[in-house]
Amino acid sequence: MRITDLLKSTAIELNANVSSKSEAIDKLIALHKAAGNLTDSEKFKEDILKREEHSTTAIGEGIAVPHAKSSAVKTPALSFITVPKGVDYSAPDGKKTDILFMIAATEDGDVHLEILSRLMVMLMDADFANAIRNAKSAEELLKLIDGKETEKYAEAKEEVKKDGYRILAVTACPTGIAHTYMAAEALQKAGEKLGYPLKAETNGSGGAKNVLTKKEIEECDGIIIAADKNVDMARFDGKPVIKVSVSSGINKPEELVQKIIDGKAPIYHHEGDDAADFDSEEKEGFGRKVYKHLMNGVSHMLPFVVGGGVLIALGFLIDTIAGNADVGGTFGFTNSVAAIVFWIGKAAFAFMLPVLAGYIAQSIADRPGLLPGFVGGVFAASGYTFTSLIENKNLVGDGSAVSGFLGALLAGFVAGILVNLLKKAFSWLPKSMDGIKPVFIYPLLGTLLIGLFMLVVNPVMGVINGAVASGLSSLGNTSKLLLSIVLAGMMAIDMGGPFNKAAYVFGTAAIADGNTWIMAAVMIGGMVPPIAIALATNLFKDRWTKEELKSGPVNYLMGLCFITEGAIPYAASDPLRVIPSCIVGSAVAGAVTALFGCACPAPHGGIFTFVVVENPLGYIVALVAGSVAGALMLGLLKKKKAN
């Protein structure tokens, strides 16, 4: 979806006559109302102001992007004003704000994150920002935005290219937020530089965008797959294909494009479901294969954890507001409204482990592994054993044998391996049976085998899972403090790499066992690096290049949205100073969350989840403390740049 699809001319006012932040907000909301974007402007204003209470949405350099998810929004939309004299919007750099976009987002999607990301990237260009400041009409403004978006993004390029694409690409990272789009842009720029038009399909958190068509695949010279999770490969049968990690797509795009140009890419053959057997450009070790399969499961599981976890937390919040007490373990669904919200969240949350196991198995064995994986995840979540099924006869699991997150991980990997073994075991069947094997034989026998396996291992895995959960729950204050410091610091070590993902998966697993304080440290640790860098570019301007200063304010929003990858360009240019500073800042923030007893039930969302955080004020203090610590250390370590 393009920015110009969300911004109507009726929601634009140039040279608005406002003199304060509150008047600017009122004007932007009034424009949304006039454009028919809202069902209740007062409710939307309430949600906007709640968001502003957490921290200002001004990013500096005269730019602010107030935004909120709200039930009062009919459809995702933008409004826009310019204010010639500017208003005091509490910007981090102390400057007045004269360019304001307001994002109105619905509660059931993340379109606002994509639009927010695009606006940030486009507004990094000072010439573009000045051009929209000086626009004389709504039509001129929309034309400027459309032109810049066409220049920057693949979807727009698809509309203007007439000669077809010589090279295609697919980019995908486990969470589908930052690395996915960074790799796509790097490959597109490399294609342009080398004179080979390139189209990149992004498998992001909102689904596949800029999808490659059958005609484009048939006519292209080759395909680059830059992904850390499995993508649909059957469509590339018979084409030259290079498979690399998403980080290689970011760091060496020209080399990859040149290999396609030179005809050095191997021909890919999709034999049944054995897509994973293709030799990639980068030889994958055992550890990387395990990582890819795990991340495939985690990326599919996240929406269930986020949606379910936040709704359950809202149930508790509503009961708290209603003044109810925990009577017989009913807290969270004592109030009727709380009960509805709680049980909807509970239903979503219940899919977490089956989805995790199912998509790990699918990553290993393709589609035939999906059903056995799901069933293994259900058995892990329910604690079924031979004894419980024989004696209860009604699918009531043994609570002590619930193997939880660890059991679901084991179920996913074992289910995938079992299905691959079945493929080899039945390879002797005639070709005429190929159609029935993946839809009948593999799922049927795979499901039976994984069910029997889980009945055997659940008692053992249940003991291990219970011991881990109990151990985390019983940690003393000192241990919680140390663990919070370590996990938050890990989030800043490689900003989306294995250390970051290890801490993130650990935090997600802890949510399933009710240890939400761990996720609080993990999320705050991921939010701090971009904000610390943005703050340092404001406080210590003589330590940065002109380009870094231009891009700095964008990192405020990247950090607030829990997009740690915004710090990567700065870390890559000066790792010995930037990475330690970010680690220290994140560790400080993690320590403060432990000291204030903060807990977070959602594994993603940044500031959008603050409303359900336990002790949100302490969480904000942690974010500020960590960001300031990181920024000050950057100011201390970074050398002054020559003019």
**225 forms bridges with which residues in the sheet?**
170, 243
Q: What's the CA gap between 105 and 69, in Å, rounded?
A: 5
Residue range 527-546: average pLDDT? 92
Of the listed ranges 27-36, 203-212, 628-637, the least confidently predicted one is 203-212
Going by pLDDT thresholds of 50, 70 and 90, the confidence category of residue 279 is: very low
Q: DSSP characters for 533-556? A: HHHHHHH-GGGS-HHHHHHTTHHH
> Is the confidence at residue 626, as pLDDT, over 90?
yes
Q: What confidence tens digit (pLDDT) does each residue in 294-346 have?
A: 878 887 887 887 788 778 778 877 877 776 655 455 555 677 888 888 889 88
> Is the confidence at residue 234, as pLDDT, over 90?
no
Q: What confidence tens digit (pLDDT) does each residue in 390-442 have?
A: 777 666 666 667 888 888 999 999 999 999 999 999 988 887 787 788 888 99
- Between 159 and 170, the higher pLDDT residue: 170
Whole-model pTM? 0.57
Helix/strand/coil for 463:
helix
**In this structure, what is the dihedral angle of CA atoms 134, 136, 142, 143, given to the nearest 10 degrees?**
-90
- Between 466 and 378, the higher pLDDT residue: 378
pLDDT at position 274 is 43
| Angle ∠(467,491,409) on CA atoms, nearest 5 | 40
Going by pLDDT thresholds of 50, 70 and 90, the confidence category of residue 160 is: very low
Write down the catalytic residue from 32, 54, 67, 604: 67
Any idea how long the chain is? Answer: 643
| Tokens 């000072």 found at | 126
Q: What confidence tens digit (pLDDT) does each residue in 236-271 have?
A: 888 899 988 877 888 788 899 988 888 888 888 776
Going by pLDDT thresholds of 50, 70 and 90, the confidence category of residue 578 is: very high
pLDDT at position 285 is 64
| Tokens 């996915």 found at | 180
Going by pLDDT thresholds of 50, 70 and 90, the confidence category of residue 273 is: very low
Q: DSSP characters for 198-247? A: EEEEEEETTEEESPPPHHHHHH-SEEEEEESS----GGGTTSBEEEE-HH
Going by pLDDT thresholds of 50, 70 and 90, the confidence category of residue 563 is: confident
pLDDT at position 111 is 62
Instruction: Work out the mean pLDDT of the chain and round it to a whole number.
Output: 83
Going by pLDDT thresholds of 50, 70 and 90, the confidence category of residue 607 is: confident
Residue range 141-170: average pLDDT? 70
Q: What confidence tens digit (pLDDT) does each residue in 349-359 have?
A: 889 899 999 99
Write down the catalytic residue from 173, 220, 582, 598: 173
Told to judge if 173 belongs to the known catalytic residues of this protein, a careful annotator would answer yes
| Nearest residue to 403 via CA among 375, 377, 380 | 380
Told to judge if 270 belongs to the known catalytic residues of this protein, a careful annotator would answer no
> Is the confidence at residue 158, as pLDDT, over 60?
no
Identify the sign of the CA torsion 565, 569, 570, 575.
positive
Q: What confidence tens digit (pLDDT) does each residue in 78-105 have?
A: 999 999 989 998 887 788 999 999 998 8
> Is the confidence at residue 615, as pLDDT, over 70?
yes
- Between 270 and 119, the higher pLDDT residue: 119
- In the chain, the domains with their CATH numbers are 3-147 (3.40.930.10), 155-277 (3.40.50.2300), 286-473 (no CATH), 477-637 (no CATH)
Going by pLDDT thresholds of 50, 70 and 90, the confidence category of residue 593 is: very high
Residue range 45-57: average pLDDT? 86
> Is the confidence at residue 1, as pLDDT, over 80?
no
- Between 36 and 453, the higher pLDDT residue: 453
Structure-token pair, residue 170:
């697919």
